Structure 1
């Protein structure tokens, strides 16, 4: 490229490089989705079409970016965890964040007609997502992060279920429903739903209550992968041969992406975590 006297402005560009050998979690959130969901008449308290659209979009992102080990989604947010060895964009934060936000937004809009065939997107209000990157030093913090997001899903969904049941089933105004739930705990909300409306919250769809966990089952593509490995024993990317790195990336690209609606706070889910996150 020819040089010019204006090229000095490039010296103002600063790359934020994320620490090596750490897990990177990219969390995306819908921008202005409260208004967006109202504009397109999302069903309350949960619109299964919208949640399935989020899950399908996340799978597309995982399919395009093999460094994503797993992802968790609820409502209008999705969190993607990148392998500790990830070198994508030389771990430049701005590139990672912008790539995930733009890729997710593009696929969400592209897939929209499959899930909302009778509702056309209006150019005056299109869906978009912002993103942030957070680093975690070990699998322990990654597990606690996903547990935090699932606990948040439970708290929010139980509240929304009780709130919209009072509004749609009980005839209360939104203000009165908010007042009725003020100061209540989980037990109170469960009792309200069952005693007044005959709703057993535990019978609500697992996707609504627990969110969605997506994992890349590398063993399905590479049977030689270890069933269980302590993440601290995983060799650094620079210690692997080029052939080994290429083989592992190929296996990740071919691996099945498994969708689950399960408890990820307890120990059971994490027993074979090395199958997907190492």
Structure 2
């Protein structure tokens, strides 16, 4: 009994000493800053490749587009969307990807650093893991690919759609320029400076004319993935465009409607069961959003019947 008591006293003294030491250093917690994102807003986490110009040169990516690299980006992004059911939609082009969280989502208590770090680390992990699938004869070496990210809040559906439209328009503009530029260099025998000077001040119609008249390339026939980028979302049954007004309902929602734990888990399971699609289509026009109301309502739709 005396031995047990002595051991208890020794343990208590040791624990008290640890508490005192720990308390001595706990003041550093006051340096942590609150980084809560605005409530009731759409959160977009956009990631970009770090130093990808050097990466492209190191692994000799094809110009103007390396399909292996694009497919790898899409595969990594699809894995992220699959792993995180709270992501509503994602859009990617080149070495960037945007992941959208619904305005009612309270993931990670809307802490910016946690949301961004989770997306960036998960995407980077899958990108490196999947690399051998798409670059079988080019194993990775140091320095390894990495990405950075930022989170931006958008208050309305129109703001969100304008952001997504901006990225897709940027995809088209850049791809048309790059397709024309590299055609002049690779097929026309120009050096980079000559091609750059020729394209300076040209409009889209001018570039289309150069491609067709000089190289018999009809830009309209280029693969959709190059012209429109890639959009990732969960596949449910499409609805008639004029059968609802989800955008208005989403904007009028002053605060998230509380869900029971049962309902929350049910919706999460339905999202998990849904097939995740990688598509290449117009997300600027209304039709894309109207036929897929779950993107704005955050309510899972009906799983399509298997044929």
Q: Same fold (TM over 0.5)?
A: yes
Unpaired stretches in structure 1, ≥5 consecutive residues: 221-226
Say which SS state the counterpart of residue 4 (structure 1) adopts: helix
Structure label with greater radius of gyration: 2
Render the CA deviation track for 1:9-59: whole Å, top value 9, x for unaligned: 011101210111111000011111111111110001111110000000001
The Cα shift of 1:140 comes to 1.3
What residue is the counterpart of 2:224 in the other structure? 206
Residue of 152, 168, 173 corresponding to 2:170: 152
> Separation in 1 of the partners of 2:26 and 2:76?
39
What residue is the counterpart of 1:95 in the other structure? 114
> Is the 2:246–2:296 contact (alpha carbons within 8 Å) kept by the matching residues of 1?
no
> Is the 1:15–1:94 contact (alpha carbons within 8 Å) kept by the matching residues of 2?
no
Unpaired stretches in structure 2, ≥5 consecutive residues: 1-17, 298-307
1:268 matches 2:287: yes
> Is the 2:233–2:278 contact (alpha carbons within 8 Å) kept by the matching residues of 1?
yes
- Structure 1 residue ranges, 4+ long, deviating more than 3 angstroms after superposition: 231-238
> Separation in 1 of the partners of 2:112 and 2:264?
22
What residue is the counterpart of 1:143 in the other structure? 161
Say which SS state the counterpart of residue 35 (structure 2) adopts: coil
**Correspondence list, 1:169-248, <5 A:** 169-218=187-236, 228=244, 230-233=246-249, 236-248=255-267
Q: TM-score, normalised by structure 1?
A: 0.93
> Separation in 2 of the partners of 1:277 and 1:167?
44
Residue of 128, 136, 143 corresponding to 1:117: 136
What residue is the counterpart of 1:224 in the other structure? none
> Is the 1:53–1:111 contact (alpha carbons within 8 Å) kept by the matching residues of 2?
yes
Render the CA deviation track for 1:129-174: whole Å, top value 9, x for unaligned: 1101111112111111110000000000000000100111111111
> Separation in 2 of the partners of 1:131 and 1:102?
10
What residue is the counterpart of 2:149 in the other structure? 131
What residue is the counterpart of 1:78 in the other structure? 97
> Is the 1:228–1:273 contact (alpha carbons within 8 Å) kept by the matching residues of 2?
no
What residue is the counterpart of 2:10 in the other structure? none
The Cα shift of 1:213 comes to 0.7
Say which SS state the counterpart of residue 69 (structure 1) adopts: strand
Q: Over aligned residue pairs, what C-alpha RMSD do you find?
A: 1.8
Q: TM-score, normalised by structure 2?
A: 0.84
Say which SS state the counterpart of residue 276 (structure 1) adopts: helix
The Cα shift of 1:218 comes to 5.0
Say which SS state the counterpart of residue 135 (structure 1) adopts: strand
> Separation in 1 of the partners of 2:265 and 2:111?
21
Residue of 48, 54, 65 corresponding to 1:35: 54
The number of aligned residues is: 272
> Is the 1:25–1:135 contact (alpha carbons within 8 Å) kept by the matching residues of 2?
yes
The Cα shift of 1:239 comes to 2.2
